[in-house]
Every structure is written in structure tokens, then in C-alpha cells.
């Protein structure tokens, strides 16, 4: 059986990742193109329980790294690998690039340490596409607080969110990940993201 496609949607707080992920899934479903939405941390029963235990607690950055890594290791083994092996296409609201950014670059642990701990949790699963939704940090923070459901990352200073934004753009340019301007109206962001995702899931190679 042909392996399914694995797509990651990334970006700073308030970029619209969750909305875009679910809207893209809906649009592709209308074309009878199956795509499963998931998220990190979370995405499986155990990973969701790990997420619930720490996401609203302000932990030091090293503790964050190990919590995210534990949740990811379980998610990959229990959900992602089986789904891809069954030929299912998966789109995730965040994954390992967020750890590179939040704990490695913005969190100042450094990419070498973060990659050493994070990369094995992916169990050799590599994404077919990573998209960065690029939103102005000030705009993203404002959107997050308007949503009324904030965690300790969203409550960090604007300077911190600016570091997150710069880190995402640095990684995107270094790795040739497509960048979508998330400051634009939602439909524009959705259309651009949908086009990128559709091209990948329609590719049978």
C-alpha cells in the first residue's frame, strides 16, 4: 500500500493554524480527497493527556522540551505511523518545527540539543510538506487574546513572539518551506494553503 502524505502547518500564535487546517480538510473532502486533521501536542489519547497536564503551566524551557518530546513520541507511534502506513493523508497543526522554534531558538536551548532530543521522537517519519503561516507578532497576539483561550506561550511578551516569528522565518528560508502571509484575510490564507496542500496529496509518487 502506498504511504500517505504528511503535512505540517506551522506559525506563531494567532496565525490561524487550527482554522486553516480544518478548513483545508473540509475543502478537500468536498473533492473526495481524504485528509485527517491532528495536532501537536496531542493527537492520540495518551498524547492528549500529556498535553492537558502541562500546556497551561509555565514550565522552564528544558521541561517544555521533554514534555513536548514525550507527547510527540507517543503520537507518532500510536497515530501517525499507523495512519501513514494505511495510506491515509495527515495534516497536523504544529509538529517538530515548533519545538525547534519555541525551545531551540526562541527558548535559547539551541538547535543541536533540541534536535538531538526531538528528532528520534519522529521515528524516521519525514513530512512531505511544511507550511509556515507568517503573521505579525502584534497581530497574532491580539488575535489570540480575542479568542479567549490562551496558554502560557500566548501570554509571553511581544519581544518573545518577535523571536518566535524571526525563528520560523529563518528555518523556512533555510529549508525552503513555503511561507503564506497570514496577515491577509482568512480566505486568502486558506486558498494559498489549500493550493499547496492539494498539490501534495494529489501527487501519487
pLDDT value at position 152? Answer: 66
Domain assignments of the chain as residue spans, ordered by start: 6-202
- Over the stretch 125-139, which tens digit does the pLDDT of each residue have? 999 999 999 999 999
- Over the stretch 139-166, which tens digit does the pLDDT of each residue have? 988 887 776 666 667 677 889 999 999 9
Lowest-confidence pick of 12-16, 87-91, 197-201: 12-16
Q: Which fold has domain 6-202?
A: Rossmann fold (3.40.50)
C-alpha separations of 161 from 56, 92, 139, 141 in Å: 17, 21, 10, 8
Whether the per-residue pLDDT at 1 is higher than 80: the answer is: no
Q: Which residues contact 39 (CB under 8 A, 6 or more apart)?
A: 18, 21, 92, 93, 94
DSSP secondary structure letter of residue 100? I
Amino acid at each position: 500500500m502506498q504511504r500517505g502524505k504528511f503535512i505540517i502547518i506551522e506559525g506563531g500564535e494567532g496565525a490561524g493554524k487550527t482554522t486553516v487546517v480544518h478548513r483545508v480538510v473540509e475543502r478537500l473532502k468536498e473533492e473526495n480527497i481524504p485528509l485527517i486533521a491532528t495536532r501537536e501536542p496531542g493527537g492520540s489519547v495518551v498524547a492528549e493527556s500529556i498535553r492537558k497536564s502541562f500546556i497551561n503551566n509555565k514550565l522552564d524551557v528544558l521541561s517544555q522540551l521533554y514534555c513536548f518530546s514525550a507527547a510527540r513520541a507517543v503520537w507518532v507511534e500510536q497515530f501517525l505511523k499507523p495512519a501513514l502506513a494505511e495510506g491515509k493523508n495527515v495534516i497536523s497543526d504544529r509538529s517538530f518545527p515548533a519545538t525547534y522554534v519555541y525551545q531551540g531558538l526562541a527558548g535559547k536551548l539551541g538547535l543541536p540539543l533540541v534536535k538531538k532530543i526531538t528528532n528520534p521522537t519522529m521515528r524516521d517519519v519525514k513530512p512531505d510538506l511544511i507550511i509556515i503561516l507568517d503573521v505579525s507578532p502584534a497581530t497574532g497576539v491580539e488575535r489570540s487574546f480575542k479568542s479567549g483561550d490562551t496558554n502560557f506561550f500566548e501570554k509571553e511578551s511581544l519581544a518573545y513572539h518577535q523571536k518566535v516569528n524571526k525563528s520560523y522565518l529563518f528555518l523556512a528560508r533555510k529549508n525552503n518551506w513555503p511561507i503564506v502571509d497570514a496577515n491577509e484575510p482568512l480566505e486568502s490564507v486558506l486558498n494559498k494553503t489549500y493550493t499547496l496542500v492539494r498539490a501534495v496529496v494529489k501527487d501519487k509518487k
